[in-house]
Chains A and B, each alone.
Chain A
Amino acid sequence: MNLSRPDRRERLDALAAEYALGTMPARARARLARIARADATVARALSGWERRIAALADAVPPVQPSPRVWHGLRVRLGLDGADRGSRWRSLPFWRGLALAGFVAAFALGIALFAPRTERPAESIVVVLAGPDGKPALVASVPPGERALAVKTLAPVAVPAGRALELWMLPGQGAPRSLGVIPHDGVRQLRLDAPPEIALRGIDALAVSLEPAGGSPTGSPTGPVLYSGRLERL
């Protein structure tokens, strides 16, 4: 049954209402959810009713869930500090940390004293793709340069009054803005330090849709359109 046909609008609306209210039986629920994933008209009807009906939920007095829920989430998602309690107290951990520190100091010593010519600067490349996996932009820092070149592979459709903003995603902590980028062509973004420092600890870059001029909050506010892992070559 094609629910998005104009003559089925009323039927679709009634089904979407029952879905959002939750009175629909399991099989019909699953079927409608499946159709909505592929059909934007059906998806819109569902979200319209979810919006109307969610307003009623605000009256429910809050109930605090047990701390188990948050703890379980941290473990399931591998978030920071998921097992900090045990790890920070363990002797092997401290031994490991001391050893790692020694190795790092040793490696740094070598790096500092090694002749420059034997350690060519790395080049950095990030291919940013959308949810469909299709590459949309390439960001790169050529060896020895202090700017990030961002190139769009095809013009990106940006709604009027909106802009694309590029973000660095550290392994830990909040995203940091690299600035607004054009929807087409190439843009050089100056880094405020040499790339090995400016991009230290950065795992990935992402592009979000923001109000014109960039995020007013200093953090991404719009949907993420593209992202990609940082490759050091």
Chain B
Amino acid sequence: MVASAPADRQARAAALIGRVALADQRAFEELYRLTSSHLYAVALRIVRDRGVAEELLQEAYVAVWHHAASYSADRAQPSTWLTAIVRNRCLDHVRKRELDTVSMTRDEGEGAPELDLPDGGPGPAELLAAGAQAHAVRECVETLEGGSRQAIALAFFQGLSHSELASHLAQPLGTIKSWIRRGLERLKGCLERAQAPR
């Protein structure tokens, strides 16, 4: 869950999720202590508001409590499962907000979203490189062309949509989409070779 995510931490989290599935409150508390600061950081980057991030984090753990039985250690690492739960909630939130903004307050100065990072942490590009380092897939990220790399980093670490990326990177929507598509295809092939199948 933190940067190096050692195997025993993952194993511990998997065992805890198994106990949470049986409504074990102590296991739930330990799982929360083990994972919440990482998941909160992930949420905060996407929604960029502490209050909203905390609310979505809480909802995510409510879902973990209720759906722990659907987790299967054969199919996904605990960190993948938990990160997806949090990210999907946050992305649903920002995409819906964007929809409201576009349809209702488009011309009321609610333009491009604030890109300031919480606490002035590392930028998306550094994080992408660091993530790659942590997982020994640096080559994969390095094979990406500049545009693809920048767009994927911004999308992943800042939760930007296609249209936000287009305005942030000053490129046509079509270019952004093809950068992302090409970059993801290349990442997939490379990660498939680098990541041990789970």
Contact = CB atoms under 8 A, between A and B. Distances in A.
A51 B22 contact: no
A61 B121 contact: yes
A103 interface: no
A80 to B, nearest CB: 6
A63 B44 contact: yes
B184 A17 contact: yes
A220 B191 contact: no
Interface stretch (A109-117, A145-153, A221-229): A221-229
Main secondary structure of the interface of B (DSSP, over half): helix
B72 A50 contact: no
Contacts, number: 212
B27 A174 contact: yes
B96 A26 contact: yes
Size class of the A contact interface (CB-based, 8 Å): 35 or more
B52 interface: no
A77 B62 contact: yes
B62 A73 contact: yes
Interface residues of B, number: 89
Contacts of B119: 63
Interface string A51-69: 1111111111111111011
Contact of A17 (B41, B45, B131, B188): B188
B15 A221 contact: yes
B66 to A, nearest CB: 9
B52 to A, nearest CB: 12
Contact of B92 (A29, A50, A57, A224): A29
A51 B121 contact: no
Contacts of B163: 25
Interface in B119-156: 119, 121-122, 127-128, 130-135, 137, 152, 155-156
B156 A76 contact: no
Contact of A26 (B15, B95, B160): B95
Given A69-B58, A175-B22, A219-B27, A22 B69 contact: no
Given A54-B79, A79-B25, A219-B27, A63 B40 contact: yes
7 contacts: A54-B87, A58-B5, A59-B3, A73-B61, A208-B18, A221-B15, A222-B18
Interface of B: 1-5, 14-15, 18-19, 21-29, 32, 36-38, 40-42, 44-46, 50, 53-54, 57-58, 61-62, 65, 69-73, 75-77, 79-80, 83-84, 87-88, 91-92, 95-96, 98-99, 118-119, 121-122, 127-128, 130-135, 137, 152, 155-157, 159-163, 165, 180-181, 184-185, 187-188, 191-192, 195, 198
